[in-house]
Structure formats: structure tokens, C-alpha cells
């Protein structure tokens, strides 16, 4: 019958068969990926007598997949023609042909799992994959996760090959979309740049933090620990809430500190949940002046037959506000510090521990006591170091560039992502004494934004959506403050939902160009109006001026180091004259990379008081003299 067909009919038949075969391949290769469970990231992987860890970071295999054929062609079974890439690290900084590439790419590594782990539950934990990831182990689908800057984990024990290597494959893409958080490719957005991010920092892609294999006991294990602290007079209290999995019925909390003293409490599980409150006589309160940490050891099971153990550090401290002041341990404290970025040449947004150590040393050198994780949660080691070094942290979700007009489906998707970020961030960071505030968004903007025309009025829908996010924060953690950071010209109604008012202001730079007298007059009037309206303390979480390193002038002029110093001094003077000001964060700690645009010479934001490679500008010396007096 085929032989009786005309050439055109045969050609058509071949096309149809080819399409059917392609469809059948795609259907047969379609795999199910579960979404990551935020509860699995509550406890950072830890090595002890019950738990094991194996860090998979190092040199991986890497391959771009610009045509998105990798999954159909089963790249999860092995990458051919791949090249080496460092993990952690941004691929945009490691490859010349990856500088502006935000499409799909694949990572692969192989590792043995120690034989001693057999009989335990085994997990794979990815510290940050920006933006969307799918994971395979030995060619089998494990799960997926959307959203960068926060970890995700999957249980993989059933997929392990014992006595031979195991392949881990991760597919990542970082397409900029209006439906994502942070947003990108937004029509009419405030940023005109390439790549078209709707925010003012580079949209780095890749595996930015450590990738771990870890194991926990099989019969009974600790799933989560939540610590809440308080004090009265000289007696502190540490409440330890424990969630378990498996058959453990009881456990013990041991808190060590005060020169070797130990304080203990037993607890019993009811539906795998329990709590114990331990009193600490002559408590040593955590603060920037004395960042004292107590060791908390939680063991489940009986004393004769323990089943699992986990240890962490905590500081006893409280945080609250009055009408005019931010109170740490019941005493007023003023936040001196910076907004900053995880950004460094070659590493991009990849974790770089020496840079981390250097940043803390330089912040201390200036006299700073705080910073904001603008505009996403930082690496977990960054948070642990803040605990040890005594820095107060405003911990911020990746919700930058939010807006509430346009496509309603995209709006709903963004709201869902904001809620996911809040759950993940609080689950991960809730036990750090350094974290005093959750920030749910940076510079959300209304449909029409004109910083020179004053504050816009918020829509009722946007207020309701923000209220949902604030309610979720308080549901997850009622021991810290909650805020959002307002943009110049943004609705004041959004600010009023916060426990403390946080705003970014650039009068004298983006408006009133170079006119510091007019800028500070307007700033003072706005601050007074906000405080009179909301009766809450105020923090200016960003203020600063682009400054090209080494550019000078006899009289302060825009872009010179003299003007940056004058700008920062003028803003600090305005704050010092008002007793309701609770903090000033200079934007920014260091210069950082951005997308290309007319206002970003060389694709860099030069508002840092340190250069991108951490050399001080004149303003850094000024802040040191001002903040260390």
C-alpha cells in the first residue's frame, strides 16, 4: 500500500511518523518531579556521632542547554562534551560565553556514599540554585525547586548505588519573567537594562552555595528545633521546641555556658512534638558589645539508648520597639551599617569564605553594628558569623521589584512565591540571635512611580496582599519584628503595616541632583511626616551616591569621593537631629555588578564605600571616624 502512494504522500507520511515518534519519546521521557518541602531545610547538615555529612562542592561538569533538549535526550544519564565548573560559583563569571546567558544549563558530579551510611536516611541538600532547578540521582528524578538564595533538600536513599559511584545531575534555568520573584522582563518597569532584570543587581545564575549529602538516623530523628529566648532581671530563659520523626518518646536538652555551667531539662513527645524551657541564672545577654553564645544540645531517646543528637548555638536577647526607639534587651540601640550584596569578581554570587571574613572585618573597622541581607537571604555561614561577631541583621526575602498591576495570574504566582520564600527563610534562619527583623520586600512599586511627585496612594488590593505576608511572618515567628522597605514615591500605606518604618531615600542623587541643601530639607520634612502619621521609629535602609574610585574635585561634585562623603554626612546629620530615628544603613557596603545600562557605567553600581575588590574610598574613612567616636 505504501508503494502506491505518491511522493508527496510519502513525504507527508514520513513527517507524520517523525512527529509521532518525537511525541512518543517525549511522553516516555516525561518524569514526575515533586516540589521541595521547606521543612527539610530547618536543620543545617551536621556531623556527629549519629549524623554524617559529605560536601559535594568542588569541580563539577557543566553544559549549556540553550535548545532545552537535555531532558528529552536524557542528559541526566551523563553529560557528553561538558566542561569543568566550580561549585559554588556563578557561571556568568566563569565563562566568557556565559556572561549574559540566563537560559538552561546542566551540572553533574559523581561521588561514593560511604558504606557506613547504610541503614540511615540519606538526603541531598542544595544551598542555592538560581532560579529554577530539577534534580536527578543516578538518572532517576528526585524533585524540583523554584527560587534562588535559599536551600532545598530531597531524600534519596532508595536511589543510592552502594559500592559504586552515584551521579547527581541538576538542571538549572534563570529566565527573567514577570511572574517570578524577583521579577524580570517587565513591560514599563523602572529599569532599562540588559539583561532585563527588574532590579539593580546582576541576575547571576548557577549553583551559588554548597551542595551536601547527609544522613540522619532511620528509626528516630530530630526534624526541627525552634529556640525562643527571654529574660527577667538577671535570669534568662531558653525555650527549646523539638519536632521529631520516628519512634522516640523522650529526650533531653543540655545548655552549656557561663564558664562551663550546664543547665538541663527533660521532655516527652506528644505527636512527635515537645518543648522544654531552661532557666539560666546570671544570664549573659547577647548584644553587639558582647555576642555571647550558649551551646544547645538536643538528644532524643533514653539516656541508655539515644537515637539522635543535634547541637546549635543561641544568644539570649529580646527585640522590640516603642514609638521612638528600637530596643535590644530593653535598651535603645541605633543601627549603624550597610545594605550590601553577595558579589565579588570571579565568584559572582558564589559563596567565598575569605571574602566573607574580609567583609566582617571591614564592617567592624567602620564601626558598623548591622546590615541588611539585600536583597535575598545570605549564605548560612554568613548568618552564623553574624551571631559570633555580634551584628544585627535585617533578613530579607528575594522579593525585590514587586508590583500589583497587570496580569492577575502573574500577580497570584508572585504572591505564592513570596509566601514560599517567607516559609523557607524563617525555617532556615529562625534560631539566629543576630536576626532581629524579617523584611518581606524591597522597594515594591505602584503602577505609576514618580519620586519627585511625592507618595502614591496604595490600592486596597495591594494592602491586602501585603497584610497576608505580614500575617504569615507573625504566624511563623512572633518573636521578631516584621517590615518592608519602601521606595521613593511609593505608597505610605504599605509602610504602616510594618513594626518599624524602613525606607530607601536618594534625594540629592536621583532627585535634587547635587543640591544637598534642598535634599536634606525635603528628607527632614518627609521623616517628620511619616513619624507623625505612624508613631513608629524609622530606619533609612538605603542612602548613597555613585562614586567612581579615585575621582576627586576641590568642591564636592556628583560622582566624586568628596560628594559621596558630603552626601552621607548630610543624611547622618538629619537622622541625628531626630530622636525617633532608629538606624542608618549606607547604600552600599561595596560596589557591585549590575546589568548593563546608561546609568550603570561598566555594568557596576558605584555606591559602595569600598570598591568591588574591597579597597576603601574616602567615605569609608569618614564613616570610621563618625561611627567609632
**Active-site amino acid positions:** 443, 542
Determine the pLDDT at residue 40. 96
CA distance 571 to 544: 9
CB 44 within 8 A of CB 380: yes
Among 101, 81, 82, which residue's Cα sits nearest to residue 93?
101
Domain over 333-627 is classified CATH 3.20.20.80 = yes
SS3 sequence of 39-79: HHHCCCCCCCCCCEEEECCEEEEEEECCCCCCCCCCHHHCC
* DSSP characters over 581-620: EEEEEEE-SB-EE--BBTTBGGGEE---SB-TT--B-HHH
Determine the pLDDT at residue 188. 80
Q: Tens digit of pLDDT for each residue in 312-323?
A: 999 999 999 999
Determine what percent of the chain is predicted with pLDDT higher than 90.
90
Going through 281-379 in order, the beta strands assigned E by DSSP cover 294-301, 306-314, 319-321, 326-328, 331-332, 335-339, 370-372
Determine the pLDDT at residue 250. 96
Among 464, 470, 469, 509, which residue's Cα sits nearest to residue 488?
509
Determine the pLDDT at residue 457. 85
Determine the pLDDT at residue 260. 86
φ, ψ dihedrals at 293, nearest 5°? -120, 135
- Residue 7 pLDDT > 60: no
Q: Tens digit of pLDDT for each residue in 13-48?
A: 554 444 444 444 343 345 789 999 999 999 999 999
Determine what percent of the chain is predicted with pLDDT higher than 70.
94
Runs of H (alpha helix) within 87-197: 91-94
Determine the pLDDT at residue 452. 63
Determine the pLDDT at residue 25. 39
CA distance 368 to 623: 9
Q: Tens digit of pLDDT for each residue in 182-236?
A: 999 998 877 788 999 999 999 999 999 999 999 999 999 999 999 999 999 999 9
Q: Tens digit of pLDDT for each residue in 46-61?
A: 999 999 999 999 999 9
The three-state secondary structure class of 92 is helix
CB 230 within 8 A of CB 319: no
Q: Tens digit of pLDDT for each residue in 341-380?
A: 999 999 999 999 999 999 999 999 999 999 999 999 999 9
Determine the pLDDT at residue 191. 79
Provide the β-strand partners of residue 395.
Answer: 438
Q: How confident is the model at residue 259 (pLDDT cuts 50, 70, 90)?
A: confident
What does CATH list as the number for 52-216? Answer: 2.60.120.260
The three-state secondary structure class of 482 is strand
The three-state secondary structure class of 183 is coil
Q: How confident is the model at residue 519 (pLDDT cuts 50, 70, 90)?
A: very high
- Mean pLDDT of the 579-592 span: 98
Segment (H or E) for 531: helix 516-534
| Domain definitions of the chain by residue range | 52-216, 220-285+289-314, 333-627
- Mean pLDDT of the 563-578 span: 98
Cis? peptide before 509, omega within 30° of 0: no
Segment (H or E) for 23: helix 7-29
Among 271, 283, 275, which residue's Cα sits nearest to residue 247?
271
- Residue 338 pLDDT > 60: yes
Determine the pLDDT at residue 18. 45
Q: Tens digit of pLDDT for each residue in 80-126?
A: 999 999 999 999 999 999 999 999 999 999 999 999 999 999 999 99
Question: Which residue in the block uniquely carries the three cell numbers 512534638?
Answer: 273
Q: Tens digit of pLDDT for each residue in 137-180?
A: 999 999 999 999 999 999 999 999 999 999 999 999 999 999 99
Determine the pLDDT at residue 242. 98
Among 554, 557, 542, 556, which residue's Cα sits nearest to residue 608?
542
Q: Tens digit of pLDDT for each residue in 423-481?
A: 999 999 999 999 999 999 999 998 877 766 566 788 999 999 999 999 999 999 999 99
State the architecture of 220-285+289-314 in CATH terms.
Answer: Sandwich (2.60)
Determine the pLDDT at residue 544. 98
Q: Pairing state of beta strands 370-372 and 501-504?
A: unpaired
Among 440, 437, 429, 428, which residue's Cα sits nearest to residue 469?
440
Q: Mean pLDDT, the chain, as a whole number?
A: 94
Amino acid at each position: 500500500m505504501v508503494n502506491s502512494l505518491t511522493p508527496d504522500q510519502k513525504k507527508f507520511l514520513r513527517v507524520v511518523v517523525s512527529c509521532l515518534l518525537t511525541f512518543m519519546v517525549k511522553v516516555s521521557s516525561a518524569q514526575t518531579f515533586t516540589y521541595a518541602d521547606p521543612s527539610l531545610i530547618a536543620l543545617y547538615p551536621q556531623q556527629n556521632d549519629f549524623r554524617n555529612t559529605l560536601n559535594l562542592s568542588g569541580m563539577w561538569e557543566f553544559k549549556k542547554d540553550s535548545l532545552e533538549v537535555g531532558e528529552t535526550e536524557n542528559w541526566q544519564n551523563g553529560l557528553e562534551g561538558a566542561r569543568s565548573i566550580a561549585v559554588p560559583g556563578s557561571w556568568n563569571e566563569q565563562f566568557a560565553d556565559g556572561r549574559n546567558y540566563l537560559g538552561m544549563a546542566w551540572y553533574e558530579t559523581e561521588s561514593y556514599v560511604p558504606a557506613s551510611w547504610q541503614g540511615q536516611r540519606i538526603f541531598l541538600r542544595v544551598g542555592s540554585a538560581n532560579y529554577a532547578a530539577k534534580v536527578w540521582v543516578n538518572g532517576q528524578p528526585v524533585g524540583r525547586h523554584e527560587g534562588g538564595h535559599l536551600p532545598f533538600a530531597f531524600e534519596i536513599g532508595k536511589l543510592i548505588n552502594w559500592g559504586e559511584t552515584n551521579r547527581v545531575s541538576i538542571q538549572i534555568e534563570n529566565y527573567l519573567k514577570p511572574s517570578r520573584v524577583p521579577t524580570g522582563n517587565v513591560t514599563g518597569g523602572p529599569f532599562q537594562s540588559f539583561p532585563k532584570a527588574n532590579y539593580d543587581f546582576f541576575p547571576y545564575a548557577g549553583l551559588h552555595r554548597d551542595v551536601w549529602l547527609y544522613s540522619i538516623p532511620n528509626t528516630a530523628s530530630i526534624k526541627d528545633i525552634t529556640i525562643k529566648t527571654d529574660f527577667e532581671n538577671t535570669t534568662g530563659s531558653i525555650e527549646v521546641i523539638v519536632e521529631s520523626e520516628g519512634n522516640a518518646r523522650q529526650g533531653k536538652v543540655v545548655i552549656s555556658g557561663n564558664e562551663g555551667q550546664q543547665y538541663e531539662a527533660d521532655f516527652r513527645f506528644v505527636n512527635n512534638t515537645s518543648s522544654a524551657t531552661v532557666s539560666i541564672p546570671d544570664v549573659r545577654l547577647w548584644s553587639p558589645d558582647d555576642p555571647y553564645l550558649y551551646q544547645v544540645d538536643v538528644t532524643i531517646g533514653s539516656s541508655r539508648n539515644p537515637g539522635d543528637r543535634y547541637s546549635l548555638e543561641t544568644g539570649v536577647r529580646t527585640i522590640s520597639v516603642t514609638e521612638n526607639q528600637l530596643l535590644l534587651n530593653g535598651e535603645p540601640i541605633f543601627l549603624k551599617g550597610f545594605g550590601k550584596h553577595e558579589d565579588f569578581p570571579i565568584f559572582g554570587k558564589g559563596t567565598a569564605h575569605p571574602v566573607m571574613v574580609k567583609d566582617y572585618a571591614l564592617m567592624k573597622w567602620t564601626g558598623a553594628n548591622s546590615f541588611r541581607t539585600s536583597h535575598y537571604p545570605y549564605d548560612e555561614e554568613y548568618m552564623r558569623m553574624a551571631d559570633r561577631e555580634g551584628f544585627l541583621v535585617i533578613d530579607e526575602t528575594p522579593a525585590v521589584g514587586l508590583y500589583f498591576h497587570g496580569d492577575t495570574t502573574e500577580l497570584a504566582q508572585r504572591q505564592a512565591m513570596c509566601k514560599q520564600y517567607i516559609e523557607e527563610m524563617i525555617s532556615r534562619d529562625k534560631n539566629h540571635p543576630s536576626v532581629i527583623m524579617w523584611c518581606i520586600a524591597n522597594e515594591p512599586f505602584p503602577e505609576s512611580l514618580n519620586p519627585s511627585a511625592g507618595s502614591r496612594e496604595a490600592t486596597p488590593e495591594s494592602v491586602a496582599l501585603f497584610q497576608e505576608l505580614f500575617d504569615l511572618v507573625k504566624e511563623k515567628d512572633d518573636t521578631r519584628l516584621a517590615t518592608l522597605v519602601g521606595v521613593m514615591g511609593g505608597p505610605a500605606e504599605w509602610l504602616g503595616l510594618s513594626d518599624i518604618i524602613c525606607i530607601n531615600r536618594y534625594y540629592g542623587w536621583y532627585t535634587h541632583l547635587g543640591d544637598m541643601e534642598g535634599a536634606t530639607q525635603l528628607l527632614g520634612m518627609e521623616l517628620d511626616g511619616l513619624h507623625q502619621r505612624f508613631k513608629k521609629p524609622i530606619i533609612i535602609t538605603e542612602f548613597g551616591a555613585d562614586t567612581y574610585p579615585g575621582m576627586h574635585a576641590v568642591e564636592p561634585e556628583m560622582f566624586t569621593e568628596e560628594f559621596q562623603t558630603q552626601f552621607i554626612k548630610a543624611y547622618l546629620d538629619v537622622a541625628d537631629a531626630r530622636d525617633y530615628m532608629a538606624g542608618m544603613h549606607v547604600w552600599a557596603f561595596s560596589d557591585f555588578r549590575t546589568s548593563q545600562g546608561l546609568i550603570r557605567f561598566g555594568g557596576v553600581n558605584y555606591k559602595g564605600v569600598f570598591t568591588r575588590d574591597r579597597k576603601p574610598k574616602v567615605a569609608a574613612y569618614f564613616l570610621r571616624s563618625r561611627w567609632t567616636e
